[in-house]
């Protein structure tokens, strides 16, 4: 059995490629892209195309579809490495890698043959998932017995969808979407919703506002708007009315991937704190020689290592559920990593003193990025409640 605590040769080779991509393509451009006022201009197709060229974009596709078939553990390592360069780049790839993984399990053979070859070939092929809507966010995590507002009426050969989703990562950039809509009126969303495959160019489907975010700016988030949008029965993922089973069955590693993205930011903050502590002299010696600072740098290391172990265990067990998958692993690793990243962000800023508050030193961007996953992929409090529901169901 593979040992999840020792990196194998394949993983090492993949991570070297990703680290080179980050160094050459992401790090030199991240600050400038982040500073654009218009959120759409913070996104870079050039970075996506380069990620395609080195095989990152399609790496979770199996060899049959032209990818590497990376498992969830390796994918989490890649997502963390990308996050060290920039959170937004990590997120746009994490969403695409995750949804490609899901599509290979949840789509039927006809749907896979229709979607995956085009996605694999397109250097700009991106994927998105639309669940959150203005009235329903924590409601679907817990879940609360209300229906989704975005709903579909049965028609000849398919469904007519009306409504909107918001906050959707890659919302304005994706070529394919998995969208969760209410198909059975009068039932709670957990019992009466359906997962639909939606193509970008489908009539009746448009992109609304692109959200202007505080951080994670190299990723775009947008509204998805459905106005009498006809989706054929052939685009139903799984069974009609069974959307929550698609969520429960095919998304086990989603939370850990989110944790890996923000853990990358924590790593970048930690490195920045160390670098500064080595060069900044106060009290007659570099900060790193002051015990209080040294201890704090070690505490940061502990938080990062412990979060990574949790993420890796969740990813490995998501792929080997027979060895003891536990559903709290689908809720808690991201909460732990994002809390760690937030703590490390404030400590890194403190170690930089006033310099940490000045934009030119780059800590400020990382602090804004570190805040993203306190809420993204579920607000942490909501995820603690979700885990508690699994723990105390009886």
Ligand X SMILES: Cc1cc2nc3c(=O)[nH]c(=O)nc-3n(C[C@H](O)[C@H](O)[C@H](O)COP(=O)(O)OP(=O)(O)OC[C@H]3O[C@@H](n4cnc5c(N)ncnc54)[C@H](O)[C@@H]3O)c2cc1C
Residue (170 or 296) nearer to ligand X, CB:
170
Out of 216, 223, 242, 364, the only residue in the binding site for ligand X (CB under 6 A) is 216
Non-local (6+) Cβ contacts of 14 within 8 A are 59, 68, 70, 74, 77, 78
Q: Nearest distance from residue 165's CB to ligand X, in Å?
A: 6
Region of 373 (left: φ > 0; alpha: ψ -120 to 50; beta: rest) is alpha
Q: How far apart, in whole angstroms, are the C-alpha atoms of residue 376 and residue 353?
A: 29
> Residue 316 or residue 373: which is nearer to ligand X going by CB?
373
Q: Is residue 137 at the binding interface for ligand X, with CB under 6 A as the rule? A: yes
- Reference 42, options 208, 214, 207; nearest CA is 214
Asked if 109 and 87 count as a contact pair (C-beta separation under 8 A), the reply is no
Please identify, using beta-carbon distances, which residue of 44 and 382 lies nearer to ligand X.
Answer: 382
Taking the complex as a whole, the smallest distance from the CB of residue 267 to ligand X amounts, in Å, to 19
For ligand X, which is the closer residue by CB, 257 or 316?
A: 257
Q: Kindly report the CA angle at 299 between 298 and 302, in degrees rounded to 5?
A: 90
Calculate the alpha carbon distances from 382 to 47, 67, 374, 375 in Å.
Answer: 33, 35, 10, 9
* Binding test (CB under 6 A) with ligand X, winner from 115, 131, 178, 247: 131
Q: How far is the CB of 180 from ligand X (least distance, A)?
A: 8
Shortest approach of ligand X to residue 145 CB, angstroms? Answer: 11
Smallest separation, CB 129 to ligand X (Å): 5
SS3 145: coil
Specify whether the CB–CB gap between 263 and 256 falls below 8 A: no
- Taking residues 361 to 390 in sequence order and writing x for each that binds ligand X by CB under 6 A, - otherwise, the string is -----------x--xxxxx-xx--x-----
Which residue minimizes CB distance to ligand X? 137
Q: How far is CA 265 from CA 101, 207, 262, 374, in A?
A: 24, 29, 5, 13
What is the sign, positive or negative, of the torsion defined by CA atoms of 209, 126, 311, 349?
negative
Among 11, 27, 138, 146, binds ligand X (CB under 6 A): 138
> Does 100 engage in binding with ligand X (CB under 6 A)?
no
247 binds ligand X (CB under 6 A): no
The DSSP secondary structure of 353-364, one letter per residue, reads: GGGGGSGGGSHH
Is 15:78 a contact under the CB 8 Å cutoff? yes
Instruction: Supply the minimum distance, in Å, between the C-beta of residue 266 and ligand X.
Output: 17
Please list every residue from 164 through 183 that binds ligand X, using CB under 6 A.
Answer: 167-169
Q: By C-beta, is 297 or 372 nearer to ligand X?
A: 372
Please count the residues of this chain forming the interface with ligand X, following the rule CB under 6 A: 21
In whole angstroms, the minimum distance from the beta carbon of 195 to ligand X comes to 12
Q: How far is the CB of 205 from ligand X (least distance, A)?
A: 16
Interacting residues toward ligand X by CB under 6 A? 129-132, 137-138, 142, 167-169, 216, 221, 372, 375-379, 381-382, 385
């Amino acid at each position: 059995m593979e040992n999840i605590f020792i990196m194998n040769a394949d993983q090492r080779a993949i991570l070297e490629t990703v680290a080179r991509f980050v160094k050459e393509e992401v790090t030199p451009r991240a600050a400038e892209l982040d500073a654009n006022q218009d959120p759409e201009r913070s996104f870079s197709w050039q970075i996506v195309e380069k990620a395609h060229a080195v095989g990152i974009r399609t790496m979770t596709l199996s060899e049959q579809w032209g990818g590497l078939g990376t498992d969830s553990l390796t994918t989490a390592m890649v997502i963390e490495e990308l996050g060290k360069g920039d959170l937004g780049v990590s997120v746009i790839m994490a969403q695409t890698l995750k949804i490609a993984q899901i599509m290979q399990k949840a789509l039927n053979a006809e749907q896979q043959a229709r979607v995956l070859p085009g996605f694999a070939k397109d250097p700009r092929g991106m994927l998105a998932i639309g669940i959150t809507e203005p009235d329903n966010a924590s409601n679907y995590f817990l879940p609360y017995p209300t229906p989704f507002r975005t709903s579909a009426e049965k028609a000849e050969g398919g469904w007519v969808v009306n409504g909107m989703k918001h906050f959707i990562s890659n919302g304005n950039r994706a070529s394919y979407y998995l969208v969760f809509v209410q198909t059975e009126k009068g039932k709670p969303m957990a019992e009466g919703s359906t997962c639909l495959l939606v193509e970008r160019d489908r009539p009746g489907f448009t992109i609304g506002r692109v959200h202007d975010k505080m951080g994670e700016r190299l990723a775009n988030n947008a509204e998805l708007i459905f106005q009498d949008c006809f989706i054929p029965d052939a685009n139903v993922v799984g069974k009609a009315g069974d959307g929550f089973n698609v969520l429960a069955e095919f998304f086990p590693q989603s939370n850990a991937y989110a944790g890996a993205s923000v853990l990358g930011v924590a790593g970048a903050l930690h490195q920045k704190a160390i670098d500064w502590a080595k060069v900044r002299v106060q009290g007659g010696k570099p900060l790193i020689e002051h015990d209080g600072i040294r201890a704090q740098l070690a505490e940061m290391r502990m938080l990062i290592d412990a979060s990574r172990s949790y993420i890796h265990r969740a990813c490995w067990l998501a792929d080997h559920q027979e060895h003891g998958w536990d559903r709290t692993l689908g809720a808690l690793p991201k909460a732990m990593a994002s809390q760690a990243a937030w703590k490390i962000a404030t400590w890194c800023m403190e170690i930089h003193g006033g310099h940490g508050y000045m934009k030119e030193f780059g800590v400020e961007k990382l602090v804004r990025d570190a805040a993203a996953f306190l809420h993204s992929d579920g607000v942490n409090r909501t995820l603690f409640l979700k885990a508690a529901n699994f723990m105390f169901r009886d």
